[in-house]
Amino acid sequence: KAGVTQTPRYLIKTRGQQVTLSCSPISGHRSVSWYQQTPGQGLQFLFEYFSETQRNKGNFPGRFSGRQFSNSRSEMNVSTLELGDSALYLCASSLGTAGKAFFGQGTRLTVV
């Protein structure tokens, strides 16, 4: 069974630009969560989607948004990029009901 797939693996963007990251969950998983990982703040929760609905949101500004499609694939978008947005963005999927979370390899975003 294929794992969680995140694309692209690496991105370099300029301040002020926007970016879209993609996550394909494990087949059959309906819940997708996003996390930001930085050396300074560690792993921080961004949001969780289940059945195309955002069920939970972390303490990030409105520049961070996401969505989930009917096939459970998810995208997150960051607008007006800032240098501090440079991080590893991780997606996790689970069956959804008290399930285990499995992470993808992440997308390394660098903002210059």
Partner 1 sequence: GENVEQHPSTLSVQEGDSAVIKCTYSDSASNYFPWYKQELGKGPQLIIDIRSNVGEKKDQRIAVTLNKTAKHFSLHITETQPEDSAVYFCAASIQGGSTLGRLYFGRGTQLTVWP
Q: Toward partner 1, which CB reaches closer, 23 or 111?
A: 23
Confirm or reject binding of residue 4 to partner 1 (CB under 8 A).
Answer: yes
Binding test (CB under 8 A) with partner 1, winner from 1, 42, 62, 112 = 42
Among 58, 71, 72, 76, binds partner 1 (CB under 8 A): 58
Q: How far apart are CA 98 and CA 65, in angstroms?
A: 24
65 forms part of the interface with partner 1 (CB under 8 A): no
- Site residues for partner 1, 74-93, by CB under 8 A, read 90, 92
Q: Which residues here bind partner 1, judged by CB under 8 A?
A: 4, 6, 31, 33, 35, 42-43, 45, 48, 50-51, 55-56, 58, 90, 92, 94, 96-106
